[in-house]
Structure 1
Amino acid sequence: MGDTHSMEPTSRIIVALDFDNRRAADEVVGRLGEECRFYKVGLELLTAAGPDLIEDLVAQGKEVFLDLKLFEIPNSVAGAVRAAGALGVSMVTVHSMGGAGIMAAAVAAARDFPRLRVLALTVVTSMTSSDLSDIGITGPPSTEDQVLRLARLAEGAGVHGVIASPQEAGALRRALGPDTLIVTPGVTLPDESPGDHARSGTPRAAVAAGASHVVVGRTVTRATDPAAAFRSVRTNLEL
């Protein structure tokens, strides 16, 4: 992938189209125009709008991060990754908690699609150490330790990158080296609420710590002027 720190700011910013209908998504994409090159589509919008939305974004020259969070038997994961590759997406996510077999199957399936990168979700950014304890993960003393454990497992399975909160970006960059993609949801501008993300941070802080990409949602998509809000995120990255 090359050194991720050489990327220019606009290519680092992924706008999350977290909508329940295509009309709202199309409106934001239209208002952002040439400002934004990269969009995230999650399960809600994919289920509501179908794969045509992704194909249309790709046809417009946009990159698409398809956030499927795959956690299934390896054969099913491989099939979903191949389907994502056929749509022309650039990134797809799998759950690292599913183990090395699931992640390796995803990586193998992606090999037929040179543009496609498999990213492993470590610990969902809404989760805290207390949540991990609730589901029986009591060995590691902190969320960061669990993130690092899963990231190393993912690295061993051959994934191209990881999803993690801004707070873990620095430790992950030190552990994984300069070329691994580190994509950080839970990013907000300094005066904003973190929303659903328990482990949030600013775009600048995330990239300074080691993130290759930041994912922004309501900061841009719910703004009165999405293009101006996008430029504010880019400015924050350039500070």
Structure 2
Amino acid sequence: MSNNPIYLALDVPRLDAAEALARKVAGHIGGIKLGLEFFCAHGHHGVHELHKLGLPIFLDLKLHDIPNTVAAAMQAIHVLEPAIVTVHAAGGRAMMEDAKAAAGENCKVVAVTVLTSLDDDDLTAIGVQSDPAEQALRLADLAHSAGLDGIVCSGHEVGAVHKQWKDGYFVVPGLRPDSGNGNGDQKRIVTPRQARDNGASVLVIGRPISRAEDPLAAARAIEGTL
């Protein structure tokens, strides 16, 4: 994989626009993150098209189902040769173990802990009494014991998780540079530099690049802070 930790989140509805944006900033990112919106709109064909840019592909599918179904889904995407795939840690140990066993040899499987759109009140509403940091650490322990490569967590939690899982692979979304970008639906955010300093392996950045007036300049500026 590239030494550049920035993965551009390409959750845009049009394939041609996604390709054009990725091509424009390709020299200043380390990979491409494709989420549910992109995958549901463009499927395997869209992933194959973006593979042509020669950058690692992160399939952020957040798989969460019974172990057999998740394992079958992992096998179904072998042909796409993803560098990273996400599953939900809340699916439990057996699901995560089966997901990792079914993944491609060069594919990192990472578990989503607490979505960066959730805060304390949101967790309470779904019956989780822990705060986001406590819940992230608990699920990180579970993912580690299940043999996964790492987790997805916010920049607020990655430092603590890194201390207890020294060789883990940590994906951090919800990042906003100090450039006046709105937070959107993210509630627990840090800057890319802060996340990297705290132990992040991958920095997922979408709107600060994709919705910038000059995406190339925005990507170059973020890269320059790392």
What TM-score comes out, normalization by structure 1 length? 0.90
Q: Is the 8 A contact 1:58 1:89 kept in 2?
A: no
Deviation, structure 1 residue 82 = 1.6
1:199 to 170, 173, 188: 188
Aligned pairs for 1:105-124 (under 5 A) are: 105-110=98-103, 113-124=104-115
Q: CA RMSD in A?
A: 1.5
Q: For 1:59-83, what per-residue CA distance to the aligned partner results, in whole angstroms no more than 9, with x for missing partners? A: 3311111011111111110111122
Aligned pairs for 1:60-209 (under 5 A) are: 60-110=53-103, 113-138=104-129, 140=130, 142-177=131-166, 179-191=167-179, 192-209=181-198
Distance 1:174-1:33 versus aligned 2 partners, 3 A rule: closer
Deviation, structure 1 residue 30 = 2.3
Deviation, structure 1 residue 156 = 0.4
Q: Is the 8 A contact 1:74 1:105 kept in 2?
A: yes
Tell me which moved more, 52-61 or 117-126: 52-61
Classify the secondary structure of the residue corresponding to 1:165.
Answer: coil
Task: Output the CA distance in 2 between the equivalents of 1:84 and 1:162.
Answer: 20
Deviation, structure 1 residue 101 = 1.0
Task: Output the CA distance in 2 between the equivalents of 1:86 and 1:121.
Answer: 23
Q: Is the 8 A contact 2:23 2:53 kept in 1?
A: no
Classify the secondary structure of the residue corresponding to 1:53.
Answer: helix
Deviation, structure 1 residue 137 = 1.1
Tell me which moved more, 56-65 or 68-77: 56-65
Tell me which residue corresponds to 1:219: 208
Tell me which residue corresponds to 2:220: 231
The amino acid across from 1:162 in the alignment is I
Task: Output the CA distance in 1 between the equivalents of 2:90 and 2:201.
Answer: 22
**Percent identity among equivalent residues?**
40
Distance 1:35-1:235 versus aligned 2 partners, 3 A rule: closer
Tell me which residue corresponds to 2:42: 49
Pairs aligned (count): 225
Deviation, structure 1 residue 35 = 2.9
Deviation, structure 1 residue 18 = 1.4
Classify the secondary structure of the residue corresponding to 2:86.
Answer: strand
Classify the secondary structure of the residue corresponding to 2:189.
Answer: coil
Q: Is the 8 A contact 1:79 1:109 kept in 2?
A: yes
